């Protein structure tokens, strides 16, 4: 069963402003990128609670801005106000609390791996290099510290693990080539 459209829309209206960074940059588009990542790693035969997955997707990036995940918190009150059953509210709260470190169930594991994939590969490494430049980190230092992304063993799904390993290898090759070229140019 998927999340009713009116409920999804109300949640989106509530969380969209919370995805804005301190610099005012809107990052809600990450939800759609993660949705595509999840679709790419989901096993067709694996049973997934689509509504729970959608709730986790919409809320994952604003947990710290919603206050406590304990019963009776703002998130709890909001989800109950949408008419969601108590068991669904409890699963969302607990899933959001353990998503990054100890995901349980296919929904949490899919989103966990999608989050890891967002931080892996050449484009993620390039984003980290750009961020280091914005902090005025010297290029040699930034290249020495450049991370290719999460290790294979951090992934929970077979497809996530395979994609993550391939992206990490591509990023490692790109980083090594970049280091070599910079060293050549700087003699």
Q: Are residues 83 and 11 in the same domain?
A: yes
pTM, entire model = 0.88
Domain that holds residue 45: 5-118
Q: Are residues 9 and 91 in the same domain?
A: yes
Q: Are residues 45 and 112 in the same domain?
A: yes
| Structure-model confidence comparison of residues 26 and 187, the more confident one | 187
Which pair of structure tokens corresponds to residue 134? 């914005």
pLDDT tens-place string over residues 54-96: 999 999 988 878 777 788 888 888 888 888 889 999 999 999 9
- pLDDT score for 107: 95
**Contact criterion met (CB below 8 Å) for 125 and 175:** yes
Does the pLDDT value for residue 24 go beyond 80? no
Mean pLDDT of 32-61: 92
Cα atoms in the Cβ-side hemisphere of radius 13 Å centred on 102:
3
Domain boundary among 118, 135, 155: 118
Exposed / middle / buried, residue 21 (Cβ in 10 Å: 0-12, 13-18, 19+): exposed
Q: What is the mean pLDDT of the chain?
A: 89
Give 63's DSSP letter: G
Q: Are residues 160 and 111 in the same domain?
A: no
Q: What are phi and psi of 104, to 5 degrees?
A: -125, 145
Of residues 10, 106, 8, 115, the one with CA closest to residue 61: 115
Tell me which residue has tokens 């290898």: 169
Exposed / middle / buried, residue 144 (Cβ in 10 Å: 0-12, 13-18, 19+): exposed
How many domains does one find in the chain? 2
């Amino acid at each position: 069963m998927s999340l009713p459209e009116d409920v999804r829309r109300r949640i989106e209206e509530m969380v969209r402003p919370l995805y804005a960074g301190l610099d005012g940059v809107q990052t809600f588009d990450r939800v759609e990128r993660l949705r595509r990542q999840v679709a790419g790693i989901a096993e067709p035969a694996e049973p997934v609670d689509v509504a729970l997955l959608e709730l986790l997707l919409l809320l994952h990036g604003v947990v710290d801005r919603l206050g406590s995940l304990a019963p009776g918190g703002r998130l709890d009150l909001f989800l109950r106000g949408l008419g969601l059953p108590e068991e669904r509210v409890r699963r969302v709260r607990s899933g959001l609390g353990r998503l990054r470190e100890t995901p349980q169930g296919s929904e949490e594991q899919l989103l966990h791996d999608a989050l890891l994939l967002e931080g892996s590969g050449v484009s993620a490494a390039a984003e980290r290099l750009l961020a280091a430049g914005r902090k005025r980190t010297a290029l040699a230092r930034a290249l020495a510290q450049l991370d290719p992304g999460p290790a294979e063993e951090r992934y929970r799904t077979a497809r996530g693990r395979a994609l993550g390993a391939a992206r990490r290898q591509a990023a490692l090759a790109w980083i090594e080539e970049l280091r070599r070229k910079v060293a050549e140019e700087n003699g």
